[in-house]
Amino acid sequence: MEQRDTARNEHTQNIRSGLPILKTQYGLNIDEYDYLDIAVDALRDIKHFGTTEYVSYVTVGKDGKVNLPCNIDCIDAVTTEHMGKKAYSTRVEFEVDGIIGTDSYYSFMEIIDNLGYIWSPGLGGFRGKGYISYQLDGKTMTVDTELAGQKIAIAYTGIIVDAEGFPTITRKQANAIAAICARIIMVKGANLGQKGAASMIEYYTGLSGRLKQAASIPEDITDNEMDEALNAQTTFNRKSYNRPTRYSR
C-alpha cells in the first residue's frame, strides 16, 4: 500500500504547512526551527511517507566505495546483481551510475549523519547467498574491494522531499504535526506556570494522538488495494500484507 503513496498525489504539502495551521486553528506560535525538529521527529512516528521501493544496480569503485542514490531514505538490502534481478524485479529501477545526485535529502540516514554517528550495521549484517556485507559512511557505502568494477544491487526505500531535503507531507500529517506542536506548547506553558495551559494538555494529547493515527493512513483506499487486502495470505511471517522491510514506512 505504501508503495503507491507517491501515485496518490497526497504528499503535496511542504513540511512547514503545519505552521499556519497552528496559527489559524489554535492561535499559537512556535519557533520555526523548533517546529522542524518536532515535525521530522513526529513524521518518523506517523510514517506514511511518500515512499517508493527502488532498486539500483551500481558499479563498485576501485576502493570498494559506492555512491548511494540521492533519493535514498534507508537501505533494504544490498545483494549481487543476479539476486537483485531475481528478488527485486518488481521495484522501480533507479539509475545511479553516471548520475551524481546534487539534492540533499533529509532522510533517516541524514538524521543519523546529522547526529554525528556513523551507522555501521556491521560486516556481518546480512549473511546468505547473494547478500553483500557493507558499511555506511554518510552517503557512501563501502563493500569488499573484491567486488570492485562489478555491479551490485541496492534495494532501498526512496522518499519524496522538497528542495531543502525535508519530506513532503500530506494534509492530514500537517494537521497532526500542528496538534503535536500545540500539545508541546501547552506542556511548556504548564511547566512555566502559565494560566490554563495545564488544563489544555489533556485535550491536545487526545487530539494529537487521534490525528497522528489518522495521518498514518491514506485518505482513500482503491478497489485494487481492497482486493489485495482481502486476498491477504498467511505467509512465513503470518498474514503479512505487502510486508514493510524497514520501519521507516
Partner 1 sequence: MTLSQMASAIRNHVVDGLDGISSASFSTEQLKDEILLTASSSLVTLTAQGLIDISKFTQRIDGIKIECKDISSNCDVESDIEVPHFTIPDVNRVANTPITYLGTMDGKLSFKVYFDREYRFHKYRLASSRFPFAWVSSTANADGMHDVFLFNVPKYNNLQFISIDAVFDNPYEIQKTPYYEQFSQAEFYAPLYVQKEIIDKLSQQYINYYRQLHMNPKPNTQQA
Q: Which residues bind partner 1 (CB under 8 A)?
A: 29, 31-33, 36-37, 39-41, 106, 111, 114-116, 166
In the complex, minimum distance from the CB of residue 36 to partner 1, in angstroms, rounded to a whole number: 5
Based on CB atoms, which residue is closest to partner 1, 35 or 156? 35
Q: Name the CA radius of gyration of the chain, rounded.
A: 21
CB distance 167 to 159 below 8 Å: yes
User: In the complex, what is the shortest distance from the CB of residue 55 to partner 1, in angstroms, rounded to a whole number?
Assistant: 28
> Which residues are CB-neighbours of 171 under 8 A, at least 6 positions away?
10, 12, 13, 219
Residue among 34 and 63 whose Cβ is closer to partner 1: 34
Q: Smaller CB distance to partner 1: residue 15 or 155? A: 15
Whether residue 37 contacts residue 166, with contact meaning beta carbons closer than 8 Å, is answered with no
Nearest to 30 by CA among 44, 16, 42, 43: 16
Please give the single-letter amino acid code of residue 231: N
Which residue, 192 or 230, is less far from partner 1 as judged by CB?
A: 192
Query: Quick check: helix, strand or coil at residue 85?
Result: helix
